[in-house]
Structure 1
Amino acid sequence: MPTIAPLDLAGHCIDARFIRDVPFFALADGTIHRLDNGHKVTEAHDGLLCAVPSFDGRSLLTGGEDGRICATDLNGQAKELSLIPRKWMTALAAAPNGAIAFASGRSAWVRSADGTVREILHERSVEGVAFAPKGFRLAVARYNGVTLHWPATSGAPTELEWKGAHVSVIFSPDNRFLVTSMQENALHGWRLEDNRHMRMTGYPNKVKSWSWSAKGKWLATSGAPAAIIWPFSGKDGPMGKAPLELGTRGDNLVTAVACHPVEDIVAIGYSDGMILVGRFGDQKEVLLRRGGKSAMSSMNWDTSGHRLVFGTEAGDCGVIDITA
């Protein structure tokens, strides 16, 4: 049976993940909690809005209501990487070359590894940012589509248009597809070789969590009473194909998903705090956690896939060891 080490915190957990196999929990109040030979706390922001791991996995990058972008590592120090006064930093991404991108309002900024910062203005507000797998291209989700930039050059951007509000964006691991989540209850995508559209609809709620499978052949998503898992292995991606549905529950929505780093299985978190794990091949499901105080807001595996860290909207967080 899996074992759970609970951690009860006060507040909305924006991001829960492992940094060098140490559990980190980033809360909306601006604190970052870590379980490293005891419970330790870092006061990183005056209000925290977004968090992603650095590409090398050595620190947690965070953006806040205080205009700061910080990196917090195992020593607990929140190193300030950038400060744009009076800006709420609402989106964040990290690249393999050490660059990071962050956004507020109609601006996106790219901070190179050497510390130089370039601002890129847009006509509409920037809702999401993502680097392509090699880090040379930056996607910016906006109203009515996505803008693709080459931040290291002054070349003209590429515009991918689709009506509606696009709120977050992600590249497939093989760089063949680009997918956005929308303010509507849908995903939209483009096949990048020819910019062909891909529509992924039918969700009863907004998609707020997604995760690529270990080999990038599947994209698991929240937003329905089951984890909706789209196939991306063929030339056309999910076009013309039905998704898998795992962990169907009639009375609760899936609010968080996290694909295993090695196997084709996915952790599925629900609006009542329950967590299941489901296998793609035979659709077998195993209960990892019964319901809690509130909706699951973030989950991530460690590098070995033996432990799952989770956080909820009410702060009942913890670590599940599936090998116990």
Structure 2
Amino acid sequence: MKPDLANPAWRSTLPPSRTVSADAPVAACAFSRADDTVAFALGDGRVRLVPADPSAAEIAAPGEPVHEGVVLALAADPAGDGFVSGGDDGRLLRLAPDGTVTELATQKGRWIDHIATHRASGALAAAAGKMALVAKAGELREFGPHQSTVADLDFSKDGSRIACAHYGGVTVWSIGNATLPPRRFAWAGSHVALKWSTDGKFIATGTQENDIHVWRMAQATDMRMQGYPAKVKSLSWSADARWLYTSSQPMFTAWPFAGKGPEGKPPLQFGEEGAGLITVVAAHPTAEFVAGGYDSGELQLGDVRTKRSVVLKMADGAAITCLAWSADGLRLATGNERGDLLVVDLKR
């Protein structure tokens, strides 16, 4: 059942949810492939597991640290039903559902602070300093070095390429053909976030200059969208690639990519203005909804079709740091800088 933001009942009551206190800041969260467990990456080295169903009686124990420092990145294991994590100890780990930890790579002196996965191929990629690591079918390969630290990375739609954001632009590598030279998309300045569009036609980055930059892959042409009050550190494409959602505004902001694209058009801003600025956005995996977490702790769900939004959690002063949807789009997980782990059930 899809959320109905036009329904007064949806707008007047908060949905069922479960909150667990972890007593450590949350860097990332993810649902397992089976959608039955949510993992949260914590600032004390732990990966905390919570049942995805808020009504479930069992709460997993806090567990022991798996990293020697801060867990910086987390994703569902694309090749199994566990998770993969990276930390400031330079370790890339696979965490099995039974608690078994397998080390995939160690990068001494580097942080593993970004992870991307491609579910269909079972591949995962991680940023480690100026290098990108790609693990697939038991093989680990390195791509780089780039001209600066890799600030973010993402797979192409078919999983055959990996895009890396860094100072001066984006570099795209072919994973399957090691002899193919990388494609470079240049734009001066630091690029701090990257997302490849769900249709594979565009790559978008957030920059240090409080704007976003987008490249058309086929023509290698680019466009720049400005006017943000802060750096855009979170980007998310709608499932049909018609909209690019961005953080760093008090309302939901969506750039239109249907037809001729956004050139010469203002972004669509919709929903209720929240308390503060949006820090994280996450598009629904199949429908027209988007979740937005604020630096005030407020959590909203927006509907780009009706241009409405509804509050899922009130502001509490702790900035939201991560968002993750279940694959069926019926549950939403979020964590904040205080260490609150929240799973919201949208099956009304």
TM bucket (normalised to shorter chain) is over 0.9
Q: Distance in 2 between matches of 1:10 and 1:58?
A: 26
Matched, 1:84 2:107: yes
The correspondence for 2:248, drawn from 205, 223, 239, is 223
Shift of 1:203: 0.8
Q: CA RMSD for the aligned pairs?
A: 1.9
Which position in structure 1 is the counterpart of 2:17?
4
Counterpart CA distance in 2 for 1:182 and 1:296 is: 20
Find the partner of 1:193 among 218, 238, 255.
218
Q: Deviations over 1:224-277 (max 9, x none)?
A: 11121111222x432222222133427511112222223211122111111121
Corresponding residue of 1:170:
195
8 Å contact from structure 1 (residues 247, 268) kept in 2: no
Change in Cα spacing, 1:122 to 1:264, as seen in structure 2 (3 Å) is: same
Match of 1:179 among 172, 184, 204: 204
Gaps of at least 5 residues in structure 2 are 1-12, 52-57
**Residues 1:38 and 2:59 aligned together:** yes
1:293–1:314 Cα contact (<8 Å) kept = no
The answer to whether 1:275 aligns with 2:288 is no
Distance 1:272 1:227 in 2: 15
Please list, as runs of the form range in 1=range in 2, the aligned pairs for 1:241-260 lying within 5 A after superposition: 241-249=265-273, 251-260=275-284
| CA distance in structure 1 between the aligned counterparts of 2:66 and 2:252, rounded to whole angstroms | 33
> Distance in 1 between the 2:181 and 2:239 partners?
34
The separation in 2 between residues aligned to 1:53 and 1:206, in whole angstroms, is 27
> For 2:262 and 2:77, how far apart are their aligned partners in 1?
29
Q: How many residues align?
A: 323
Q: Any gaps of 5 or more consecutive residues in structure 1?
A: none
Seen in structure 2, the aligned counterparts of structure 1 residues 92 and 192 have a Cα distance that, compared at 3 Å, is same
Deviations along 1:195-223, whole A, 9 cap, x unmatched? 11111211111112222222222121111
- Give the aligned partner of residue 135 of structure 1: 159
- 1:56 CA displacement: 5.1
Q: Is the 8 A contact 2:38 2:333 kept in 1?
A: yes
The separation in 2 between residues aligned to 1:227 and 1:128, in whole angstroms, is: 22
TM-score scaled by structure 1?
0.93
Task: Give the SS at the match of 1:139.
Answer: strand
Q: 11, 25, 28: which is aligned to 2:43?
A: 28
Judge conservation of contact 2:107–2:128 (CA < 8 Å) in 1.
no
Cα 1:91–1:261 shift into 2, 3 Å: closer
TM superposition score normalised by structure 2? 0.87
Residue 283 of structure 1, CA deviation: 1.2
> Partners in 1 of 2:283 and 2:96 — Cα distance?
24
Alignment partner of 2:94 out of 71, 76, 87: 71
Q: Which amino acid aligns with 2:43?
A: A
Q: Does structure 2 retain, via aligned residues, the 8 Å contact 1:145–1:159?
A: yes
Q: Name the amino acid aligned to 2:191.
A: H
